[in-house]
């Protein structure tokens, strides 16, 4: 499945300090409900919403950066983190297939019975998580492909 040649856009839904959901709090090593910063977006291909994407950051990591603004500038959030001294060293991804919540189903305009894929990606600087990304994607509109070297 490819989106080459199709028009896409990203809609900003929220830029805010929010209470950390359980998984986010766990990755950041903070108490459940501690304040973190979130960038909530919805991605569209042509006229179809295909993804809800939330990026969570510790408040100190985004203080004084364009991550708190709609336009993060060239290189996006990762470039802004690197400018603060965080050199990204690795990423971890977890994907789960499940049925959507009623809110997700409405936001993605899903036909009843359509599952979603929930992706969690954690960006690390050394061993420190600097972003927890949660994406909920319409499963009938995505394909996942991974390539990596075989062990020696």
What six digits make up the tokens of 31? 């108490």
In angstroms, the CA 147 to CA 141 distance is 20
105-135 residue pLDDT tens: 999 999 999 999 999 999 999 999 999 999 9
CATH number at residue 29: 3.40.1410.10
The domain in which residue 101 lies consists of 8-141
Q: Which of 17, 120, 87 is nearest to 59 (CA)?
A: 17
Cα dihedral value 23, 24, 29, 31, nearest 10: -80
Residue 128 lies in a domain: yes
Q: What is the pTM of this model?
A: 0.91
Residue 75 lies in a domain: yes
Q: Domain total for the chain? A: 1
Residue 152 lies in a domain: no
18-69 residue pLDDT tens: 999 999 999 999 999 999 999 999 999 988 899 999 999 999 999 999 999 9
Residue 151 lies in a domain: no
């Amino acid at each position: 499945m490819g989106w080459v040649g199709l028009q896409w856009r990203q809609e900003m839904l929220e830029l805010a300090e929010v209470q950390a959901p359980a998984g986010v709090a766990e990755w950041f090593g903070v108490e459940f409900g501690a304040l973190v910063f979130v960038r909530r977006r919805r991605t569209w291909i042509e006229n179809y919403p295909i993804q809800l994407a939330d990026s969570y950051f510790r408040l100190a990591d985004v203080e004084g950066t364009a991550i708190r603004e709609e336009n993060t500038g060239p290189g996006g959030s990762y470039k802004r983190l690197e400018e603060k001294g965080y050199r990204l060293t690795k990423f971890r991804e977890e994907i789960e297939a499940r049925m959507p919540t009623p809110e997700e189903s409405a936001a993605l305009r899903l036909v009843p019975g359509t599952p979603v894929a929930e992706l969690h990606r954690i960006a690390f600087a050394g061993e420190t998580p600097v972003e927890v990304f949660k994406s909920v994607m319409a499963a009938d509109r995505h394909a996942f492909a991974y390539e990596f070297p075989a062990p020696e």
